[in-house]
Structure 1
Amino acid sequence: MFLELIFQKSIQGATSIRAYRCTDHFFLESQKRVNYNLKFEYPTIMANRWLAVRLEFIGNLIVLFSALLGVIWRDSSGITPGLVGLSVAYAFNITQTLERIKEYSETPTEAALETGFELPKNWPTRGSVNFEDLRTSSFVEGFEFSVLLYGS
């Protein structure tokens, strides 16, 4: 994010940078910042890739073992082709769940919603709506009910 901001500002001020003949200075400064950023970004990328390979391997092993057990126990009286198919389908679901967990763990969290609006102190925290002799259609006539509203 920080690098993108510096790059954007450099592009916007490119005419001034060229006018003051500071292109070499900005180029070297940009290289220094990119290298500094990569020093921390590269291990993060490698750790994520390492984790992804292991998770995919575990998921594929689960699918493989469920299929192998179905083949090995095919003559068993309690194992039906439908049950084998179900176990393989569940194994695929586990694989997808592992991938989804990895994806969600890498998703950046959103900032809290700040509206800058506060309710007045005298704002009601409780209320009710009464419906009496309600006529909605030919099916319901003379129906009565109450709705209690709670909030803060």
Structure 2
Amino acid sequence: MNTTADTSATDPPDGSVPNGPFYHGTKADRSAGDLLQPGYRSNFGEREKANFIYLTATMDAAIWGAELAVGEGPGRIYRVEPTGPIEDDPNLTDQKFPGNPTRSYRTRQTLRVVDEVRDWQGHPPEVLEAMLAHVAELKRRGIHAIND
């Protein structure tokens, strides 16, 4: 089933659970009903074991996840449902940007794959190359993902 992003939704101002739909970008090949869980090596920094799994409510952030993921094969984007509480991703929120403009979250619980989004388009090659250079520079400078 093809899915499109709902980019008009915003997070509730009272701090309750944000509005979905939610997406997860990766290179892992999964199917509807599969559970995605934390505990695998991170795609970023020193690739240490990730204590969280990440999700977003914007297609653009999911596309970045799919494009920047480590591994073989094509990037994939899944529509997912969190099975437990989620929180703002501190790697992309108040520590780097005010608020949560990318609507990026993380959880210590599993994410259930609802379906794969097949009709997405990646960033232009020059934009992707610039982001890859930026990620490489962060790694060179020893800046790692917040994992606690």
Indicate the TM-score class for this superposition, using the shorter chain for normalisation: under 0.3
State the TM-score, normalizing by the size of structure 1.
0.15
Higher RCO (Cα < 8 Å, 6 or more apart): 2
Structure number with larger C-alpha Rg: 1
Q: Which has the higher helix share?
A: 1
Q: Which has the higher strand share?
A: 2
State the TM-score, normalizing by the size of structure 2.
0.16
